[in-house]
Amino acid sequence: MVKNVFLIILMVLSLNADNTDYSIYNLNCVQCHSQLPVSIDKYFYKYLLKYSSERDVKKAMFDYLKNPTSEKTVMTESFITRFGVKKKTNLNDSKLRNAIDGYWDKYKIFGKLK
């Protein structure tokens, strides 16, 4: 009985979930990254150091997530050896771009410094 109530509540919440960039990012990115020893914000800063601009960071992330390879990653060789290259995303292009936009908006430093 408790399981059924829980499942119903979960279904209602998922139906009412908004489709904003940040929620797509939370639902599809944060869960996996929370299981890794490197926090998700560290990936952002690695991309920013390597690619500099918003456009280039987003393009590099999109390309990597659509077709992950060790040549495209910003992670160190030791990290790849230990954890491997991530699996290809199951998000369609639109949702992936929205998730990357949400990620960018959360961690960007531009416009936040005073």
State residue 21's pLDDT score: 57
State residue 108's pLDDT score: 83
Q: Directed axis angle between helix 40-51 and helix 54-66, to 10°?
A: 120
Q: Report pLDDT digits (tens) over 47-105.
A: 999 998 999 999 999 999 999 998 999 988 988 898 888 889 888 999 999 989 988 98
Domain boundaries, the chain: 19-107
Q: Where are the alpha helices (DSSP H) in 67-108?
A: 77-83, 93-107
- Give the C-alpha distances (Å, rounded to integers) separating 41 from 12, 16, 28, 69, 96: 30, 27, 15, 20, 17
Q: CB count, 10 Å around CB of 8?
A: 10
Amino acid at 54: E
